[in-house]
């Protein structure tokens, strides 16, 4: 497993809970009910199973070396993000009132951001869990996804199992169920998981429309980070980085007339995210100039 995959797995942050912790047991039960299967997934308004791509077939059981690698990667991920949590300073420079309103209303939202800054924004969103945010992530049902799911569960996040690239309809059904039944706020990184970078797909707008949960746009920047050579030029914040956050006003989505309408809204989401990122970047530059 590459260092990039390891870093991407570390999406949330907190000490690992003890196995006997009742809150951990509750999260495990919630995750179990949210794990999507092709047998129970249904498109909205239909009693027939949604069409899915032909499954890849059963995977071979992991070898001892693979199990050892997974265990080591899990603990390394926990340690890596815990260090970030302890050392990175997170500051909301724009839209703090929107954060407070969202938490006070205690309703699910659909957090949105760019895949390039997934770890930076996830650190901020993770910091809101103690204040009541039921943060969730859509994670692939693959073997690697199972590893990521374990890391997320250990750090008090919730997981919705599904693949937006292979079984998009079933993944949407699982996301809608998570918001409506469990009041989870699932993050949507609109140009992931494979790009193209900077092109926001319509999934977030469709999810917000079907559930009534408003979009919650998060722009972010870090003073120090590693730049990856991946398709999205992903940024991993370094320890002791200053993280600035710019948040937009919660944005409810009304009726979607057709696919073109959803595409136009998605394009507007991308423009707003770009502007919020610029606000967060500008705050970084101002801070740097005052320290010279």
Lowest mean pLDDT among 39-43, 194-198, 280-284: 39-43
In this predicted model, what pLDDT tens digit does every residue of 242-275 receive, in sequence order? Answer: 999 999 999 999 888 888 999 999 999 999 999 9
- Measure the CA angle with vertex 153, ends 151 and 154; round to 5°: 65
Cα–Cα dist 126/134, whole Å:
9
258-262: Cβ within 8 A, 24+ apart: 259/202, 262/202, 262/205, 262/206
Asked if 177 and 34 count as a contact pair (C-beta separation under 8 A), the reply is yes
Using DSSP, state whether 36 is helix, strand or coil: coil
Asked if 85 and 14 count as a contact pair (C-beta separation under 8 A), the reply is yes
Residue 12 has pLDDT above 80, yes or no: no
Using DSSP, state whether 90 is helix, strand or coil: strand
Asked if 200 and 276 count as a contact pair (C-beta separation under 8 A), the reply is no
- Give the strand pairing for 242-247 and 215-222: antiparallel
Inter-axis angle of helices 203-211 and 259-290, nearest 10: 110
Which of 164, 215, 235 lies closest to 193 in space, CA to CA?
164
pLDDT at site 15: 39
Q: DSSP assignment, residue 165? A: T
Cα–Cα dist 145/156, whole Å:
16
Sequence ranges of the domains in the chain? 3-41+66-290
In this predicted model, what pLDDT tens digit does every residue of 220-237 receive, in sequence order? Answer: 999 999 999 999 999 999
In this predicted model, what pLDDT tens digit does every residue of 40-94 receive, in sequence order? Answer: 433 333 334 444 455 555 667 889 898 898 889 888 988 898 899 999 999 999 9
Whole-number percent of the chain with pLDDT over 70: 77
Give the pLDDT mean for 33-39: 44
From the CB of residue 248, how many other CB atoms can be counted at a distance below 10 Å?
20
Residue 129 has pLDDT above 90, yes or no: yes
Which of 189, 81, 80 lies closest to 138 in space, CA to CA?
189
């Amino acid at each position: 497993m590459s260092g990039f995959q390891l870093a991407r797995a570390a999406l949330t942050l907190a000490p690992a809970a003890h196995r006997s912790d009742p809150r951990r047991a509750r999260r495990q039960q919630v995750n179990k009910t949210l794990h999507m299967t092709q047998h129970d997934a249904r498109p909205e308004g239909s009693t027939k199973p949604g069409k899915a791509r032909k499954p890849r077939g059963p995977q071979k059981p992991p070898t001892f070396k693979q199990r050892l690698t997974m265990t080591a990667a899990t603990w390394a991920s926990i340690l890596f993000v815990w260090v970030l949590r302890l050392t990175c300073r997170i500051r909301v420079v724009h839209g703090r009132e929107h954060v407070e309103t969202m938490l006070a209303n205690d309703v699910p939202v659909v957090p949105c951001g760019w895949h390039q800054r997934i770890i930076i924004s996830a650190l901020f969103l993770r910091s809101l869990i103690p204040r009541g945010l039921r943060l969730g992530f859509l994670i692939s049902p693959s073997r690697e996804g199972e590893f990521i799911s374990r890391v997320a569960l250990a750090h008090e996040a919730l997981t919705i199992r599904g693949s937006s690239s292979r079984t998009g309809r079933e993944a949407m059904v699982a996301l809608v169920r998570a918001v409506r039944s469990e009041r989870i706020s699932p993050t949507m990184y609109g140009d992931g998981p494979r790009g193209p970078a900077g092109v926001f797909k319509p999934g977030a707008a469709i999810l917000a429309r079907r559930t009534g949960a408003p979009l919650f746009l998060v722009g972010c920047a870090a003073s120090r980070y590693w730049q990856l050579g991946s398709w999205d030029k992903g940024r991993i914040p370094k320890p002791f980085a200053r993280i600035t956050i710019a948040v937009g006003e919660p944005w409810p989505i009304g009726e979607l007339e057709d696919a073109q309408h959803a595409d136009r809204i998605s394009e507007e989401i991308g423009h707003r995210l770009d502007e919020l990122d610029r606000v967060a970047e500008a705050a970084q530059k101002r801070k740097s100039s005052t320290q010279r």
